[in-house]
Structure 1
Amino acid sequence: MEPNAVTKVVTDEIGITAKFMEDLKMFALTKGIDLIEAVILFIIGYIICRYIRKAVEHILDRSSVDPSAKTFISEIIFFFCLAIVVIVALGTAGVAAGTLAAAFGGIGLAIGLGLKDNIGNVASGIFILIFRPFRVGDYIQVGGNQGTVTDIRIMYTLISTLGNQMIVIPNSSLINSVIKNYSAFDTRNLEFTFDVGYDTNLPECITLLKKLFTEDPYVLNKEDLPIYVSGMAESSIRIYVRAQVDRTKYFDAQNELYIKVKEAFDKAGIDIPFPQVVVHRAKE
């Protein structure tokens, strides 16, 4: 390359660099302060939004609002306030109102298309809070999962299992599934099927079970306790009993009643058969 050409290239590069630095300087002088103000405003606004959320949670804790709605309401208010902070910060940065509206419209459309499932979760969360198929503290079963509802949030619901595991279920999945709420009523039914041998005296066995269940403090339906022979199996006769107990004492009652029945059967000499096969030897 000729010396004049090299000199020209170097001169052009220096000119471009100088122009860039000049433009950067002008931008810093004209927009730099606005950007710094916008960033500071956003940080302060974000902190204020978090304090507002905590204040709302504190107010809701002291009010009579259903526990199911507390987290949901506080998060909705938080994101609404945060959206206002973002708009104000962008306006401070020098973004025109028309440009801001168009940008938010495009962003909203993109978010709506890309996060349609999450929007469905939000709508489902609102549905849960309005129609209340369950509340925080209820013991429910959804599909193969069951546990106590610990929190209902914008996108999902948290369930704590008896094994001390946390299950996160999207709200849209809850609405589209069959929900079995064990806490919908103050009482729950304990259903028992006891297998006894074919040589058992059934009237005496039923009398024994009826006396045992009606004297137990956990059983609430002592006057109308359903107890009857429900069927004849291959190796046993089945007796059905349905006891109504306090839902908060369901497992305690189940444990105690099973133990009492087993002890009573052993004492009365009532056989509890197990599956067995009878083999007949053919005559020679």
Structure 2
Amino acid sequence: MNKFTSVLDFIKLWIFQNRVFILYQCEHFVLAGMILFFGLWGVKIVTKTTRNVFTIRNIDPITTGFLTNIFKYSLTIFVIVSALSSIGLKTSSIFAAFGTIGLVIGLAWQSALSNLASGLLIITFRIFKVGDYINIGNVTGKITNVEIFCTLFKTFDGTIISVPNGKILTENIINFSKSNEYRNKITLGIARNLIQKDINIIKKILLDTVSVNDKIIKNSIVNIIVDEITNNSINFTVFFWINDFINKKEICSDLINILKNNLELYEKSCVLWINND
């Protein structure tokens, strides 16, 4: 008990002797806390305002998101440095520390810095925009956002995939949204013993069925070719153009059913197989 009392008395004495210094430091810590609180709150407001201004001026969403993120992180660093400076840390020492940390991070995160640089190139050259359907490597989907280090895709099954920006610039990019015309094909096999003498009639049925379909681009070229004649079947390929990439599977599926029905109205059970490659 006596030891505890002695320690407590020592603490009280130390506080009394250093009360001016403690009050001084408390003031600075309170100031640092206020700078941090109001500074980060201000960063949030400024970032939101900047984003709204870019949106009003019809700036591309990719550019808007990328630049506002950089703006936000830069201001956040400034607020943190200001808060540290207010408690007595020298700004030069802070920046020297940040420089050292930056060097270490730069060596350890070379790929991350590469992704950052790639992100800048993506928004500078406008390789694609939010809402575009693109294929990169084995990933196909709609661009939802370009962030500082990665690009977000939403695939046709609703999965969100994150692809590093650096990888995007090293892969071949297929942008399906850059064109309004997409060629598709349907292949089918017709029983040879049933239509051997009626190839031209079959081709006309195929051509008429595809040409009048309202999902096919009007006045576009429809090609019907005979691919192969086997012992059992005559195989055809139908080439046609559509302008709806997103729903192409549904369009082709509907067209397959219509083709099969029209062909079998002419000759029952003549279609051996039919599919969309």
For the aligned pair, the TM-score class normalised by the smaller chain equals 0.7 to 0.9
CA deviation profile, 1:211-244 (whole Å, cap 9, x unmatched): 1111112222535222212345685433222221
Partners of 1:221 and 1:235 lie apart in 2 by 35
- C-alpha change, 1:81 and 1:226, in structure 2 (3 Å) is same
Q: CA deviation at 1:49?
A: 0.7
Equivalent of 1:77, from 71, 74, 93? 71
Query: Are positions 1:254 and 2:244 aligned together?
Result: no
- C-alpha change, 1:239 and 1:22, in structure 2 (3 Å) is farther
Equivalent of 1:96, from 72, 90, 93? 90
Q: CA deviation at 1:37?
A: 0.8
Partners of 2:140 and 2:121 lie apart in 1 by 20
The residue aligned with 1:65 is: 59
Q: CA deviation at 1:21?
A: 5.2
Partners of 1:55 and 1:71 lie apart in 2 by 12
Q: Describe how 1:224-239 pairs up with structure 2 within 5 A.
A: 224-232=221-229, 236-239=233-236
Unaligned runs of 5+ in 1: 1-8, 275-284
Query: Are positions 1:217 and 2:211 aligned together?
Result: no
Equivalent pair of 1:235/1:273 in contact (CA under 8 Å): no
Partners of 1:267 and 1:24 lie apart in 2 by 102
Partners of 2:230 and 2:69 lie apart in 1 by 56
CA deviation profile, 1:164-186 (whole Å, cap 9, x unmatched): 22222222222233333221212
RMSD of equivalent CA atoms: 2.9
CA deviation profile, 1:230-284 (whole Å, cap 9, x unmatched): 345685433222221122653443233122112112212262325xxxxxxxxxx
The residue aligned with 1:245 is: 242
Larger mean Cα displacement after TM superposition, 210-219 or 176-185: 176-185
Q: 1:271 corresponds to which letter in structure 2? A: C
Q: CA deviation at 1:15?
A: 10
Larger Cα-atom Rg: 1
Partners of 2:106 and 2:230 lie apart in 1 by 58
Q: CA deviation at 1:136?
A: 0.8
Partners of 1:98 and 1:110 lie apart in 2 by 18
Partners of 2:17 and 2:250 lie apart in 1 by 77
Equivalent pair of 1:213/1:222 in contact (CA under 8 Å): no
Q: CA deviation at 1:20?
A: 6.7
Q: CA deviation at 1:73?
A: 1.7
Aligned length: 267
Q: Describe how 1:188-207 pairs up with structure 2 within 5 A.
A: 188-199=182-193, 200=195, 201-207=198-204
Q: CA deviation at 1:97?
A: 2.9
Specify the SS of the correspondent of 2:72.
Answer: helix
Equivalent of 1:46, from 4, 23, 40? 40
- C-alpha change, 1:182 and 1:233, in structure 2 (3 Å) is farther
The residue aligned with 2:160 is: 166
The residue aligned with 2:49 is: 55
Unaligned runs of 5+ in 2: none
- C-alpha change, 1:150 and 1:14, in structure 2 (3 Å) is closer
Partners of 1:71 and 1:254 lie apart in 2 by 37
Query: Are positions 1:139 and 2:133 aligned together?
Result: yes
- C-alpha change, 1:115 and 1:15, in structure 2 (3 Å) is farther
Q: CA deviation at 1:78?
A: 0.8
- Identity among equivalent positions (%) equals 22
Q: CA deviation at 1:75?
A: 0.8
- C-alpha change, 1:232 and 1:126, in structure 2 (3 Å) is farther
- C-alpha change, 1:177 and 1:19, in structure 2 (3 Å) is farther
Specify the SS of the correspondent of 2:272.
Answer: coil
Q: 1:268 corresponds to which letter in structure 2? A: Y
Give TM-score scaled by structure 1 length. 0.81
Equivalent pair of 1:193/1:240 in contact (CA under 8 Å): yes
The residue aligned with 1:107 is: 101
Partners of 2:231 and 2:36 lie apart in 1 by 74
Q: 1:204 corresponds to which letter in structure 2? A: I
Q: 1:273 corresponds to which letter in structure 2? A: L
Q: CA deviation at 1:109?
A: 1.0
Equivalent of 1:126, from 120, 126, 129? 120
Partners of 1:251 and 1:273 lie apart in 2 by 21
